[in-house]
Amino acid sequence: MADPQAISDDSSEEAEEDEEEARRIREGFIVDEDEDEEEDDDEARHRRRKRRKRRHRRRDEEEALEDDDLELLEENTGTSFRNRLTRLRRGPEGGSPPAPSTSKRKPIVESSEDDLDDEDLPQVQDIQRIWDDERAGGGRDDEEDMDDFIDYEDEDEGAGAMDEQEREERRRERKKRERERRKAIGSRPELAGIDDMAWDEIHGVFGDGHDYDWALLGDDEMDFEEERLKPEMRYQDVFEPSEIRARMLTEDDDLIRAQDIPERMQLATSSISQSSTLSLHQNLTEADLDDAAMWVTVRLSPRKTRDFFSPEGPYNMYREPLVMAVTYALRFLFIQEFEVPYIWTHKRDFISYFNPQEMRTRVQLISLAELWRIYALGQKYRSLAQRKNALALSYARLNVEDEYFEQTIRPKIDSVEVVTDATEWLTMSYKLKKQDAFDFQFHDDEDQAEIRKRKAPSRISAYEVAKKSIVSKLADGFGIKPREVVYNFVAQENAHFVDDQELNPIAFAEQFTDPDAAVAQPAEELLRRARMILATELGKDPLLRQAMRDLFKTDALISVLPTERGMAKIDEHHPYFNFKYLHHKNITQMMDTPQFLHILAAEAELLVTVSTFLTNEAKSKFERRLNDAFASDSYSDTARAWNEERSRVVQEALEQHLIPVGVKWAREWLREEVEDTLAAHCGNVLRERIDVAPYITPEMKPGDTASVLAVSWGKGDPQKDAITLVFLDEAGRLREHIKIDNLVDREYQDEFTDLLKRRHPDVIVVGGLSMATTKLSSKVRSLVNGEPPKSDPTANGVTDGWGPSEPPREANEQAFNIPVMYVRDEVARMYQHSKRATEEFSALSPVAKYCVGLARYVQSPLNEYSALGHDITAIPLEDEDQHLIPKEKLLLALERTLVDVTNKVGVDINRAVNDPYYQHLLPFVCGLGPRKAQVLVKKISAMGGNLINRDQFIKSSLLTTKIFLNAAGFLRISRDPEAKLSKNRHADDDVQDPLDDTRIHPEDYELARKMATDALELDEEDIHDEHPSHVVSVIMQDVDNEKKLNELNLDEFAVSMYEANEDRKRHTLNVIREELLKPFSEQRAPFPSLGPWDVLTMLSGETPRTLRMGLIVSIMVVRLEQTLVHIRLDSGIEGVIDIGYLTEDGNIAPKEVVKKGQTIPGVIVDVKLDLPADEFFVKVSVRQSDLRAGDGLFRSVKRDDQWNLPQFERDLEMQARKKRAEIDRTRRVVKHPNFHNFNATQAENYLDKQQRGDVVIRPSSKGVDHLAVTWKVDDKLYQHIDVTEINTGQGGNLLIVDEKHQYADLDELIVNHVQATARKVEELMAHEKFKHGSEDELHLFLKNFVAANPAKSIYGFTLNRRKPGHFNLCFLANKNSTVQTWPVRVMPESYCLFDAAVAGVPELCDAFKVR
């Protein structure tokens, strides 16, 4: 008989038994009359159940499900476990079945996995279905039968203690009871024919479904444990980080939303930037304000400094009030954290001249632009203060007392550059004192855990070597310390004098020579090293460096010279020609123009070289001052010799240290200043476009919104494009959208006029993407005005693209008093293809969406530009220069303009909550931003989407305190005209306040009520029982309110308030008076109309620079007449050629000279622009005499006034000689498929479309014994190889490259040199450390990596753009170091890192790491 344990517990042993044993095992699963097999089966089942029950009891004791556990499971899974976890109880042994329950339990088969812990429940699906069928037919009795069935199985647990006879009796008794129950229940129709024996056999064969629970139990428990221990799902686990960032759901975003600080003040960049980052700065304190105010004031602007601080300045008497105003502004901005619009609107009295004795003297000390400038400078000072504190801590850690540092250097630290210099100076002076004293930690550095640091590469400079040697004693012999020299220089008087030596320098230096002749250095060398020590210490001094920077700031000169490539590429028509030979232009003359940015762009393209230097006079003056501070006053020969040595020190300090520092700083400083100026200019251009009121007709009142009909013909193709009309009502809702084929057919004209009658638009705007729009505009005007269509002055009975015209109508058949106009469409062009347009109007065509954009622009230019978000940088504000501004800097300038204008206008908060389009204005409200506006809208929506008064912002916790103070005056709550104020003074929670619909800040409500009370001449008793703002309502509705308010003496009122509590409210009182008269009155300029050139540029792209008299353009003949030729330019502008401009004779018929459809060159004679008549055309001449002269004079770029004419003429002559030599030289012919008679530029153009590694062999300009081989390294990168041909004298030539590689013929050279080199290049470019792009991009990648991983170093390869075919290896050792660049030369057989040649890339990496 088989081992029961083998049967039940280890199925893997079955394969090891013999066939007889296997047969007996199989038979053991079948219940038959064999008592031994039945006994073994029962015993095995008994042991299994006993083990399982013990395991279940232990787990039930350890992991009993409490109510809290059940609630947690239900919360996480969404499923109820209360009823499903009810366990079946075992009935009494031998007793009757339990009484029926009135509750309807779920069938057992629906039990949860927890129910399966009990062995009583069946699991096998077939058996479950059988019992389900029985329960379905028998109701609750069948359930009891099932319970008994389970209980009987449980009774077998005690069978192990019985003998065989007792067990057999028990089994027979059980079967008998089952037969009796089935008989009482009655047979089921679907189971008819199944007798008791069959049931017994089924049960005996299949069991109760629990026989193999022991095998599945472990898996079930494991699955449950995994499910239970699985972490809670978060959105970070589902969405991409970029998506989380776009939806503003990062931890930083949550922090920004939660902090009671204006959102824009928490960010380091613009709030509408896609990469806006949190600024973890330290705020200024009251103790910092005085220093900060002086630091900021002198940097506001040169004009401000001249007017207020110059003795002869017109505002010199207001110098102290200006500093005080800046102090107030800094306090509001950086301590109280108020944004600029709040200060400008509600605290302007603190930044204006305020004198109670001179109330009529009005001087605006700080303008709005200067207030933003103060904010920017305050941020820089805050960063400076933090770095100064870090420097002070580092100095304290040194545990030294340096009088020069404490009394001379530290008080003069006024810039980040000086902090850096002071840090470097301390490092140099006390490096041996404490190596780790300069581990600075700024706010943007990540906290570093204690980690094992790698050994940093050790580099000891020549200065350190000399300083540790005897040479330092020789340097001391110069008689004065470098710091004393600097002190003399700064003080401009010699407070420290030189101790003269008795010996001359050579004799004195010989005292320090090494007695060992083998290692001794000559006295001259020792003197040189001593001079190097002194020059280094002078060159590293922070005060000298700052003096040099100040000198460069005023006296630096900039010169430009073209490279060899630039000489060929920059011709007289190239935009860079303006500065191609710029010569000695003063840096101050480049501050207000974008020229320097163009120079840097040209330098990046390797077209020019830029040099920055001092004027000879300024340099000599600085050198003379430094020599005077260093020299001895004695007149002896020895003193003169030492003075010569000191003069050499000064010269070395200038050339090796001070001037290079000044050059580097001047470039970066000028670039920053020009970028800031250009960004501010773009902001001003944007202000001109958005600081305008919506369009209104003369009949409308300011503040009203016009209904708009927008019309567009798209690209104006009559065969493809229909005319699209979109109507928006006063609320900006799309009410109608139709398309018509043309405006010529009577049917379509009637449809158009019916639309006008039906909708009565206030204005019609016309827009389009081509010059055909002018014809559409003309048609619309004629239909609206009821005029017969004008005959085209350029036509002669020919249609204009819409097919045959209808019979002319009578004049004034029907006329509408509706203006027709063009408007700017750059925003509409962007909107038609935007994601926002698809979400709002998915069913509209792109042209219809374009029309929606046009109409919205007319209704609110501010809203349209605000809705652009970060795409606003794509709007052309400064066509030729805008791309030179870094995007983040441009975004910041444009955002500030949007913030200014939005707060000037105000935002209706209830409309913003319910109108997604208008909601785009909310982030620009003072104190808010995209994140805070988002959460504010959600909170108000949860309250019902409507606010009654401004008090709810605080009482309903919608805004925190500082945000409320910033935003409250700009968030208006429109008042219901029918609403009446409650008479209960304290019932203001749910009633409207008329002041909430004004620009008056809640902190000034009492002031406004007081003013209204005084204007109405009421007493407190008169309004005691009224709402506090009742008097405001009365004065607003008073017909004589203007007279009553103007009679108030606001100056006297302001003085009394100042004397009472020093509160400055003079400007605020003016604001209150204006708001009581006209709440939220329109303060913007009227909607502007476009000029003729604006319309022409919008429709054709032509500008006065590209379309002017004298330019030669390409024209196409459209049609011919007897005396006229109608033509069209490439831009779509139409024109004419008079017969007199066709030929020299002037009397030849046009058809004899040109043909329809012909394209010819022509000279523009005149440009005619007539906007009211929608006529834009040019007159052109095609006479040869006019064309022969060309248009170079008109197209050439003007030279800068500072032009290096001699160098320009020399280069012209040299280029002419080269050209002549090339023409005179006999063209060489080489029989090879890759040979071409190309020059370098032609070879590059030829290879531009070829694959990498392709080769061109061409003649060389070096002579007939040279060849040039050009091969393509990468896109726009080509290597030119000079090949020398040597006649071997044996009838063959030898080709030599680099004097190292020799080849017998061109094929061998291509295969073994060019292609081998190309393979090396490809191998390195395929390496994981190679980065595509420029070297600057690789530097940025390295810095970002080290910033994210401060404990690591990083390196990478990039192509050397200056030496094609070679690479640069760039590495960054740690976050405090600078990026180092090492050259990697590529040879056909190896890579060369300096002098080390290696065979492959892994070896190259190893060589770098070892080095």
Q: For 1299-1320, how does the pLDDT look when each residue is reduced to its tens digit (9 = 90+)?
A: 788 888 888 889 999 999 999 9
Between 186 and 1295, the higher pLDDT residue: 1295
Q: Which candidate, 1385, 1381, 1382, 1392, places its Cα nearest to that of 1365?
A: 1385
pLDDT at position 867, please? 93
Rounded CA-CA distance 477/484 in Å is: 14
Between 932 and 213, the higher pLDDT residue: 932
Q: Residue 108 above 70 pLDDT? A: no
Among residues of the chain, what percentage have pLDDT more than 70?
78
pLDDT at position 73, please? 53
Q: For 795-831, how does the pLDDT look when each residue is reduced to its tens digit (9 = 90+)?
A: 433 344 454 444 544 444 567 889 999 999 999 999 9
Q: What is the mean pLDDT of the chain?
A: 80
> Averaged over 651-665, what is the pLDDT?
93
Q: Which candidate, 1088, 691, 694, places its Cα nearest to that of 860?
A: 694
| Residue 934 banded pLDDT, cuts 50, 70, 90 | very high
Q: Residue 977 above 90 pLDDT? A: no
| Residue 1047 banded pLDDT, cuts 50, 70, 90 | confident
pLDDT at position 794, please? 41
Q: Which of 159-173, 286-300, 575-589, 885-899 has the lowest mean pLDDT?
A: 159-173
pLDDT at position 691, please? 92
Between 135 and 757, the higher pLDDT residue: 757
H helices within 798-950, ranges in order?
Answer: 826-831, 835-840, 846-859, 861-866, 887-905, 909-914, 930-942
Q: Residue 680 above 80 pLDDT? A: yes
pLDDT at position 155, please? 43
Q: Residue 857 above 90 pLDDT? A: yes
User: C-alpha dihedral over 270, 271, 276, 282, to 10 degrees?
Assistant: 80
- In degrees and rounded to multiples of 5, residue 1163 shows phi and psi of -100, 130
Q: Which residue has the tokens 């007149």?
A: 635
Other CB atoms within a 10 A radius of the CB of residue 482 amount to: 23
Give yes or no for a contact between 64 and 94, defined as CB atoms under 8 angstroms apart: no
Q: Residue 242 above 60 pLDDT? A: yes
pLDDT at position 1217, please? 83
| Residue 208 banded pLDDT, cuts 50, 70, 90 | low
| Residue 1349 banded pLDDT, cuts 50, 70, 90 | confident
DSSP E strands: which ranges in 935-1077? 971-972
Q: Residue 1187 above 80 pLDDT? A: yes
| Residue 443 banded pLDDT, cuts 50, 70, 90 | very low
Rounded CA-CA distance 1292/1305 in Å is: 9
> Averaged over 251-259, what is the pLDDT?
87
Q: For 23-32, how does the pLDDT look when each residue is reduced to its tens digit (9 = 90+)?
A: 544 444 444 4
Q: Which of 186-200, 759-773, 896-910, 1003-1017 has the lowest mean pLDDT?
A: 186-200
pLDDT at position 26, please? 46
| Residue 974 banded pLDDT, cuts 50, 70, 90 | confident
- In degrees and rounded to multiples of 5, residue 321 shows phi and psi of -60, -30
Q: For 76-92, how does the pLDDT look when each residue is reduced to its tens digit (9 = 90+)?
A: 555 555 444 444 334 44
Other CB atoms within a 10 A radius of the CB of residue 797 amount to: 7
Beta strands 1266-1274 and 1277-1287 are antiparallel
pLDDT at position 1190, please? 83
Rounded CA-CA distance 1057/1075 in Å is: 20
pLDDT at position 810, please? 47
Q: Residue 1052 above 90 pLDDT? A: no
> Averaged over 640-651, what is the pLDDT?
91
Q: Which of 58-62, 555-559, 696-700, 1068-1072 has the lowest mean pLDDT?
A: 58-62
| Residue 768 banded pLDDT, cuts 50, 70, 90 | very high
Rounded CA-CA distance 222/220 in Å is: 5
Q: Residue 4 above 90 pLDDT? A: no
Rounded CA-CA distance 870/895 in Å is: 9
pLDDT at position 264, please? 92
Between 180 and 700, the higher pLDDT residue: 700
| Residue 667 banded pLDDT, cuts 50, 70, 90 | very high
H or E element at residue 1354: strand 1354-1359
Q: Residue 177 above 80 pLDDT? A: no
Look at the alpha carbons of 1261, 1266, 1267, 1271 in this order and tell me if their dihedral is positive or negative: negative
| Residue 908 banded pLDDT, cuts 50, 70, 90 | very high
Q: For 44-72, how does the pLDDT look when each residue is reduced to its tens digit (9 = 90+)?
A: 566 666 665 555 555 555 444 455 555 65
pLDDT at position 332, please? 94
Q: Residue 1082 above 70 pLDDT? A: yes
pLDDT at position 552, please? 94
Other CB atoms within a 10 A radius of the CB of residue 317 amount to: 11
- In degrees and rounded to multiples of 5, residue 1401 shows phi and psi of -70, -45
Q: Residue 157 above 70 pLDDT? A: no
Q: Which residue has the tokens 């300009």?
A: 1261
Highest mean pLDDT among 21-35, 594-608, 633-647: 594-608
H helices within 956-998, ranges in order?
Answer: 961-967
Q: Please report the DSSP string for 618-645 in residue order.
A: HHHHHHHHHHHHHS----SHHHHHHHHH
Among residues of the chain, what percentage have pLDDT more than 90?
35
Q: Residue 773 above 60 pLDDT? A: yes
